[in-house]
A and B are shown apart, each in its own frame.
Chain A
Amino acid sequence: MSSADWIAISPLIAVAAAAVVVMMLAAFWRRHAIVAAASMIGLAVALFCVLPARSAAPRMVTGLLAIDEFGLFYVGLLLKGSLAVAAVSYGYLRARGRDAEEYYALLLTATLGCVTLAVSAHFVSFFLGLEILSVSLYALIAYTRERARSIEAGIKYLVLAAGSAAFLLFGMALLYAEYGAMGFAPLAKALKASGGANVYMLAGMALILVGAGFKLAAAPFHLWTPDVYEGAPAPATAFVAGVSKVAMAALLLRFLTQLGATDSRPILIALSALAVASMFAGNLLALLQRNVKRILAYSSIAHIGYLLVAFIAAGPMGAEAATFYLAAYMITTLIAFGVVAALSPRDRDADAMEDYQGLFWRRPWMGGAFVAALLSLAGIPLTAGFIGKYFVVASGIGSALWALVLILALNSAIGLFYYLRSVVAVYARPGEEAKAADRAPGFSLAGGVALAVLGFSLILLGVYPAPLLRLIQTAIASL
């Protein structure tokens, strides 16, 4: 490996090193604030390393990792997301008292898995990244072990993720058996040479979609989502929903684009089936739900459905729309779960609708941020979510996907019901008992700053998306 290679993967190295440092700190110097600060600094350093890495790009490192504008864009996005999660976690864990230090080591290794996924261009790094992420998530989800639900969620996720990883692995094996290649680029070349899709290729791709669909929580692989979102501690849910899905989607985008899979009709139909199923399943399941974390879980299923529409839309337009959508989705999700984390009392998570009754009158900024996130999820103008949805619809129309776009519009209408119902709750007059509980135990300065920055970005992207769009265009052009 040349020095340029090292520079190119320096963000990954920085995250890995931060994980080790935090593990050591947790062993010898158990101070929550120090450990949290160290992990945030580590993530910030990694984020800073993206700049020199960009100057070294584009570059294949060891045939496994493709350091290009696309990968680095997502690395930057994921690191920012992790930073926000770490900041939000601090107050949440402080309110819970003991044994918070190892959490950050897990968060950092999970982040490492995510950034690996974002730059991997090979089945080996794909699988490695996925497993680093998954194993860290098992423990993160079950971290509040005094709550039975948290343990239950961790075990459910472990069983199902391991099972779906087996599907994924089998799919990879089928492709390797047929084409004798595991890197995306050689695979694409072999695919072209063999003159298009055959049974092995299609079966392998379908199995890989099962594995990826599970991680993304696309229907019908979505059943775990509400239980895990509800059971996991709120900041960990934020990571699962906001960060890990973005990583998986980035990999899928690269994989499908490089293999030219979006030209293959069977794959497109499979993706369309996933999209339609996810949109309907997510929105219908959320409709009368009264648990906020479960509402957000179902809503995320629906959003993956919308996102897949952009995947199906051909060409750079679709990829750009998908990338913008993911950025907007990540910001929005992190705000929503960030507010949940900040409001959570010591012994449970603030996930009942009653916890949000009159939130705006008790804590106007927090209520405002939550409403902004809900409106962004619903796709109301002047929020990032609107622009994201707008681009997805535009890319769908550009590729004449009329049926999908109509279904998307119908589902947006269904979705409005439960988003607006939550908004109404936030603005309702608070009840007496809610007034008595007028505290945000999980709130910290770091979390507040993170929420403020995220909220500002949410509005900024809604009114002035041009700079991010330019960045995304260069990223997609490098793919």
Chain B
Amino acid sequence: MSLLWLIPALPLAGYLALAFGGSRLSRAAAAWIGVGSVGLSALVALGVAAQFIGTPPAGPAFHQTLWTWMSVEDFKPAIGFYLDAMTVVFVLVVTGVGFLIHLYSVEYMAGDEGFRRFFAYMNLFVASMLVLVMADNLLLLYLGWEGVGLCSYLLIGFWYKDRVNGRAAQKAFIVTRVGDTAMALGLFLLVWQFRTLDVQQLMTQAREQWRVGAGMATAAAALLLGGALGKSAQLPLQTWLPDAMAGPTPVSALIHAATMVTAGVYLIARTHVLFELAPAAQLAVAIIGAATLLISGFSALAQRDIKRVLAYSTISQIGYMFLALGVGAWSAAVFHFMTHAFFKALLFLGAGAVILSLHHEQDIHKMGGLWKRLPLTFWTFLAGSAALAGLPLITAGFYSKDLILWSAWSSNAGGPALWAAGLIGAFLTALYTTRLVCLVFFGEEKGRVASKPGWRVSAPLAILAALSIVGGFVETPRALGGIRWFGEFLRSALPAAPGVEEAPERMESAMMLIASAAALLGIVLAGVLYLGMPRVVEGIAKRAWGAAAQAFWLGGWGFDWLYDRLFVKPFVWAATVNRDDFIDSAYNGVAAFFSLLHRGIIRTQTGRVRWYAAGVALGAVALMAIVLWVR
């Protein structure tokens, strides 16, 4: 436990070594440092987790305060870490999945001239993410939050020589900034109200001092929700994530699928007390989650770029997590976070392997028949797709999604409408996932496979595929064994969803069957449509309404178009009109005023010693006059 600090410190050290070692390091050394630091960190995380499970700490959590940065009255920001059951899950996923993706990147990025820079940024990202999930106070949490935002920006625009990538990075940064501003205000509000930065103290005091539905609690929860929406790409701040696919594929896997985008989920789960005190805000979380998962599910159906399909699918799956959070099923959200990290990282890495072997071809309509050429990639991708589609019984994604759907139905905060949205989403997920697999791996061969992946790509794929299958057996419905390990483990940190446990088992089984049917229906329908009757799909696409829907969904429901009209264009127009910024003239006035003062006072520096001596004498007189006059 005392080694807790090593978990974020190792990747940070890796970053520093890579950043300062720079071009002096050979590629091999850079790879060793970059992968090794995260690998060691994962090992330490495993050891800490084993100890946490073996000998649980006295309270709900283990606390490690390294030092206090500064201390002035109530303002005592500490460099301190907080490890409870939820943190254990996040730390294991971040370091474990992070390590596999780093290993994969050694091969994926092998020919890139920015090899060292890439690993430096990736290490910094892992360090920031760990600081974010381990922080015991708001300041450190915010440092991690902004750190991952910075790394996301740097890595989306990693190939900065292409303008498009730079724009995508800026878009991601600016859109999330809207949410971050709300979140910063929320943090200020909390600190202002409770005069402490410590997250746990804040939660205790909030529970004691605020009643349910209090205006202040709703405001704080809503502001934090704003931050979560930006980072997790939920409605209405979801538009940055599809464009973020401009970064290298391992970045998409690590940052824009498995870890960073779930920071919003972490934030809400960490401050769940506030959301319990603010039912309105919590309902908003559920509704936003449901709406997001539907909208992006439809969008995923129409995409042509393999990475954009996965990007919309990520938005949709995080929508599920928000839905779970919104109905109070905190541990279900964390469960889905974990399984999603496995299978979505797998899918992105698999997509990367496909893209690489086809000379950076990303259009799924130009792929096909790859199952024979890339067998390992195919089988692992299939496992990930099955988990994403929620193939019943044998995949991790099925169990976590089923738990969310069941919670949405049975929780006191849930209801049939939320459940129905989730169910339609499950059908859509199965549909677009199967479409993707069919177009990429089956049908006629269209591209030529140039190279086959090596072991550094294959090993992470295989491990993640295994996790995507077995990762779900830690929490199962009552009809299927009723394993409750995951929920029990998290119980010390996150309360159970009210009403879920009490609901009848027969209902749960029925719901499970309906959810399974929806997923299977989607899989079969897509299989039939895209493999058996591709004419029908083409026919629909040729009709006017079909083409319109496709274009509408392809563009992500026109949000980009809307925001462009609503915000970007007017802003650019205002900036153009105000080219000689009238507000600037005030600042220029200040600057001119001070340069005028400068020009006046610089005349005193004559360089003549007699004048300087006179200055001392006059100063002495003035000082004497002051003390004697005010006496």
| Category for how many chain A residues contact B | 35 or more
Contact (A387, B70) CB under 8 Å given A285-B598, A285-B602: yes
| Chain B hits for A353, CB < 8 A | none
Q: Of residues 26 to 63 in B, which have CB atoms within 8 Å of A's CB atoms?
A: none
Across the interface, name the chain A residue whose C-beta is closest to B66.
A464
A260 to chain B, nearest CB (A): 15
Query: Which residues does chain A contribute within 8 Å of B563, judged by CB atoms?
Result: none
Q: Which residues of B contact A214 (CB under 8 A)?
A: 616
Q: How far apart are B148's CB and chain A's nearest CB, in angstroms?
A: 18
Task: Closest B residue to A222 by CB, please name it.
Answer: B615
Least CB distance, B349 to chain A, in whole angstroms: 35
A284 engages B630 (CB within 8 Å):
no
In the assembled complex, the Cα of A269 lies from the Cα of B628 at a distance in Å of: 11
Contacts of A203 in B (CB 8 A): 624, 627-628
**Proximity bits, A214-247, B CB within 8 Å = 1, else 0:** 1000011101101100000000000000000000
State the Cβ distance, A419 to closest chain B Cβ, in Å: 15
- Are B612 and A156 in touch, CB under 8 angstroms? yes
B480 within 8 A of A: no
A210-B616 in contact (CB<8A): yes
Interface majority SS (helix, strand, loop, mixed), chain A: helix
Query: Considering only CB atoms, which chain A residue lies closest to B591 in the complex?
Result: A417
Q: Are B620 and A207 in contact (CB under 8 A)?
A: yes
| Contact status A270-B620, CB under 8 Å | no
Contact partner, A223, options B599, B612, B627, Cβ 8 Å: B612
Instruction: Return B588 CB to nearest CB of chain A, in Å.
Output: 13
A202-B631, A267-B627, A394-B72 known; A223 vs B615 contact (CB < 8 Å)? yes
The reply to whether the CB of A451 lies closer than 8 angstroms to some CB of chain B is no
* A436 close to chain B: CB less than 8 A: no
In chain B, positions 592-631 with a C-beta closer than 8 Å to chain A are 594-595, 597-599, 601-602, 604-605, 607, 609, 611-613, 615-616, 618-620, 622-624, 626-628, 630-631
Among residues of A, the one whose C-beta sits closest to the C-beta of B22 is A364
B622's closest neighbor in chain A, by CB?
Answer: A220
Q: Is the CB of A156 within 8 A of B622?
A: no
User: B70 touches which one: A288, A390, A414 (CB < 8 A)?
Assistant: A390
Flag whether A160 is at the interface (Cβ < 8 A): yes
A1 within 8 A of B: no
By a CB distance below 8 angstroms, the chain A residues around B604 are: 223
Q: Does B576 touch A at the CB level, under 8 Å?
A: no
Task: Please tell me if the beta carbons of A206 and B67 are within 8 angstroms of each other in the complex.
Answer: no
Alpha-carbon separation in the docked complex, A465 to B615 (Å): 39
Q: What's the nearest-Cβ distance from chain B to residue A464, in Å?
A: 6
A197 within 8 Å of B (CB atoms) = yes
Name the one of A160, A199, A390, A466 contacting B613, with C-beta atoms under 8 angstroms. A160
The residue from A160, A202, A213 contacting B612, defined by CB atoms under 8 A apart: A160
CA distance A414 to B594 in the complex (A): 8
Task: Identify which of A224, A265, A274, A285 contacts B601 (C-beta below 8 A).
Answer: A285
Q: Do the beta carbons of A224 and B624 come within 8 Å of each other?
A: no
Q: Is the CB–CB distance between B616 and A164 below 8 Å?
A: yes
Bound: A190/B212 CA distance, A: 65
Q: Does A163 contact B (CB under 8 A)?
A: yes
B68 contacts partner chain A, Cβ-Cβ < 8 Å: yes
- A266–B616 CB distance below 8 A: no
Cβ distance A209 to chain B, nearest Cβ, rounded Å: 6
Partner of A465, one of B70, B598, B599, B612: B70
Give the interface SS of chain B, mostly helix, strand, loop or mixed: helix
Instruction: State which residues 365-418 of A face B: CB under 8 Å.
Output: 387, 390-391, 394, 414, 417
Interface: B545 (CB within 8 A): no
Please tell me if B567 contacts chain A, counting CB pairs below 8 Å.
no
* Interface of chain B residues 506 through 522 with chain A (CB within 8 A): none
Chain B residues with Cβ below 8 Å from A213 are: 619, 623
A266 touches B631 (CB 8 A): yes
Q: Determine if A193 is an interface residue (Cβ-Cβ < 8 Å).
A: no
Q: Does A143 contact B (CB under 8 A)?
A: no
- Measured in the bound complex, the distance between the Cα atoms of B69 and A104 in whole Å is 39
Given contacts A209-B623, A266-B630, A270-B623, contact A159 B67 (CB under 8 A): no
A463 within 8 A of B: yes
Q: How far is the CB of B69 from chain A (nearest CB, A)?
A: 7
Determine the chain B residues whose CB is within 8 A of the CB of A274 once the complex forms.
623
In the bound complex, what is the Cα–Cα distance between A387 and B602 (angstroms)? 31
Q: Would you call A287 and B594 a contact (CB within 8 A)?
A: yes
Docked-complex contact A167 and B598, CB < 8 angstroms: no
Q: Counting CB contacts under 8 A, is A281 at the interface?
A: yes
In whole angstroms, how far apart are the Cα atoms of A451 and B145 in the complex? 33
What separation, in Å, do the CA atoms of A390 and B72 have in the docked complex?
10
Q: Which residues of A contact B595 (CB under 8 A)?
A: 287-288
Interchain CA distance A463-B143 in the complex, whole Å: 13
| Contact, CB under 8 Å: A159 / B623 | no
Known A199-B631, A223-B604, A394-B72: A159·B594 in contact at CB below 8 Å: no
How near does chain A come to B16, taking the closest CB pair, in angstroms?
Answer: 12
With a cutoff of 8 Å between Cβ atoms, the chain B residues found around residue A164 in the complex are 616
A205 within 8 A of B: yes
CB pair A159–B613 under 8 Å, yes or no, is yes
Question: Which of B597, B605, B607, B616 is close to A160, meaning CB atoms less than 8 Å apart?
Answer: B616
A273 contacts the other chain (CB 8 A): yes
CB distance from B65 to the nearest CB of A (A): 11
Interface residues of B in 68-93 (CB under 8 A from A): 68-70, 72, 79
Q: Give A288's nearest chain B residue, CB to CB.
A: B598
Question: With a CB–CB cut-off of 8 A, which chain B residues contact A56?
Answer: none
Q: By the criterion CB–CB under 8 Å, are A266 and B619 in contact?
A: no
Q: Mark A155-188, 1 if CB is under 8 A from B, else 0.
A: 1100110011001000000000000000000000
Measured in the bound complex, the distance between the Cα atoms of B591 and A223 in whole Å is 24
Closest residue of B by beta carbon distance from A466? B67
C-alpha gap A163/B619 in the complex (Å): 13
> When the two chains form their complex, are residues A224 and B612 in contact, meaning their CB atoms are under 8 A apart?
yes
Determine which residue in A156, A203, A206, A417 has the highest number of CB atoms from chain B within 10 A of its CB, and name it. Answer: A206
**Given the complex, which residues of A lie within 8 Å of B630, measured CB to CB?**
265-266, 269
| A160 contact set on B, CB distance < 8 A | 609, 612-613, 616
Chain B residues, Cβ within 8 Å of A288? 595, 598-599, 602
| Complex Cα–Cα for A391 and B599 (A) | 32
Find chain A residues with CB under 8 A from B602 CB.
285, 288
Within 8 A of B (CB), among A92-147: none
Do A287 and B624 form a contact, CB below 8 Å, given A155-B609, A197-B631, A226-B605?
no
Contacts of A466 in B (CB 8 A): 67-68
Contacting pair A269 B627 (CB below 8 A)? yes
Nearest opposing residue in chain A for B604, CB measure: A223
Cα A464 to Cα B611 in complex, Å, equals 45
**Which residues of chain A have C-beta atoms less than 8 A from B79's C-beta?**
463
Closest 8 CB pairs of A and B: A220-B619, A287-B598, A266-B627, A223-B612, A202-B627, A210-B620, A223-B615, A206-B623
Taking A202-B627, A210-B620, A270-B627 as known contacts, 11 extra A-B pairs with beta carbons closer than 8 A to each other, sorted by chain A number, are A156-B612, A163-B616, A220-B622, A221-B619, A223-B612, A223-B615, A227-B605, A266-B631, A273-B622, A284-B598, A463-B79
16 A–B contact pairs at CB < 8 A?
A156-B612, A207-B624, A210-B616, A223-B604, A223-B611, A223-B612, A269-B626, A269-B630, A270-B623, A270-B627, A273-B623, A274-B623, A285-B601, A387-B70, A390-B72, A414-B594
